[in-house]
Amino acid sequence: MPAVPVTVDARQLDRNIQRFHQQVADAGCVTRAHQKAHRTIELATRQVLAGAAGIAVHSAQAARDLAAAGVTDVVVAWPWREPWRWPLYVSAAAELEHFAVHVDEAESITGLGRAAAAAGLQIGVRIDLRHTPAAEVLPLARLADATAGVRLDGVTGYHGPETAEDIKDFALLGRRHAEHLVGVAASIRAEGIDCPVVSAGGTPTAAGALGVEGITEIVAGAYATLDAGLAAAGACDLAEVAISVAGDHADLLVDCAQPWDPGSVAVPLHGRLLPGHICPLARNLMRGKVEITVVDGGVPVDRWLPQGRPDRE
């Protein structure tokens, strides 16, 4: 019988989740699990049940799918700019207790505000510092504070390891980026504007970010399954990687190299392959409609189908 293409070890998965959530909680912060690392509703709800404050997604449709599964707090973690998305965000907000989106330009704030106010709703906006020039941050914060239909949820950013030099000290990278986020939030508050959330992203950089006073949230995706790239970087052990691919399905690992190690897409372990980078694998599974078999003590107990419906005009 052919090997199961992709398996997740439920016990290791839960150990990884519990350890990461505890690390974040011990620092006085909350975890927001990013769905991009697995693209399954089942694992997202598992993370929430285990203590994640909410989920990060890339579309309003993904937010609505999670709402239907009982998740109450979702953030669209990409600053989409197309006006046709505003009504989709309003529909998602109507189904969730807390809904916010990333923004990086004035037109997104005013357009979303008009759509939300017309529906009698208020949607959170997070200024995405990855894409916002420094000179525009305070004007955007003032605009969000003054615009009906939106509220300034806070600031957010992500600076993951991209080079071999970055990965040498990923904790330092996380700390420096977190310090920048906290400084920007302080400048907004100095204007008399509430800025409740200061959100830093990343599984390997979380340890550094958590050492910075003022960070309130960690957005991370890979922490549940982990991957061989994180193990090679020293962020975990190979034995802690909870997901594997059968050797005769290596085609699922196309593009699964970490940016700091483009030559490695998989590591063999116990007759199977551990992905070098979990996020491309999740994308490949979604595109190929390949299920993940969940095993507990070696026994299959569930099947998850990665999905992540994009928004369409």
Per-position DSSP letters for 237-294, written without gaps between them: -GGG--EEEEGGGGGGGTT--BTTBTT--EEEETTEEEES-HHHHHHHHHHHTPPEEE
One domain for residues 70 and 143: yes
Q: Is residue 72 a contact partner of residue 100, using CB atoms and an 8 Å limit? A: no
Residue (of 5, 3, 65, 19) closest to 226 by Cα position: 19
Domain boundary among 192, 220, 248: 220
Q: Tell me how far apart the alpha carbons of residues 310 and 63 are, in angstroms, rounded to a whole number.
A: 10
C-alpha triplet 15, 247, 230: angle, nearest 5°: 40
Residues 157 and 250 in one domain: no
Give the DSSP H or E segment for 228. Answer: helix 228-232
Q: In whole angstroms, what is the distance from residue 41 CA to residue 31 CA?
A: 17
Helix (H, G, I), strand (E, B) or coil at 53: coil
Residues 152 and 297 in one domain: no
Collapse the DSSP code of 200 into the 3-class scheme (helix H, G, I; strand E, B; otherwise coil) and give the result. strand
Query: If 0-12 CB within 10 Å is exposed, 13-18 middle and 19+ buried, where does residue 290 land?
Result: middle
* pLDDT attached to residue 2: 59
Whose tokens are 């504070």? That residue is 145
Do 105 and 212 lie in a common domain?
A: yes
Report the SS3 class of residue 138: helix
From 203, 220, 237, the end of a domain falls on: 220
> Do 136 and 65 fall into the same domain?
yes
Q: How far apart are CA 98 and CA 123, in angstroms?
A: 8
User: Residue 38: which domain range?
Assistant: 14-220
Within a 13 Å sphere around the CA of 262, how many CA atoms are in the beta-carbon half?
Answer: 3
Same domain, residue pair 144 and 85: yes
Domain assignment present for 52: yes
Q: What is the structure's pLDDT at 1?
A: 38
Same domain, 238 and 150: no
- What gap in Å lies between CA 104 and CA 301, rounded to an integer? 43
Residue 131 pLDDT: 87
Per-residue confidence of the chain (313 residues) as pLDDT tens digits? 358 999 999 999 999 999 999 999 999 999 999 999 999 999 999 999 999 999 999 999 999 999 999 999 999 999 999 999 999 999 999 999 999 999 999 999 999 999 999 999 999 999 999 989 999 999 999 999 999 999 999 999 999 899 988 898 999 999 999 999 999 999 999 999 999 999 998 999 999 999 999 999 999 999 999 999 999 999 999 999 999 999 999 999 999 999 999 888 999 999 999 999 999 999 999 999 999 999 999 999 999 999 988 999 9
Residue 232 falls within a domain, yes or no? yes
Domains in the chain, number: 2
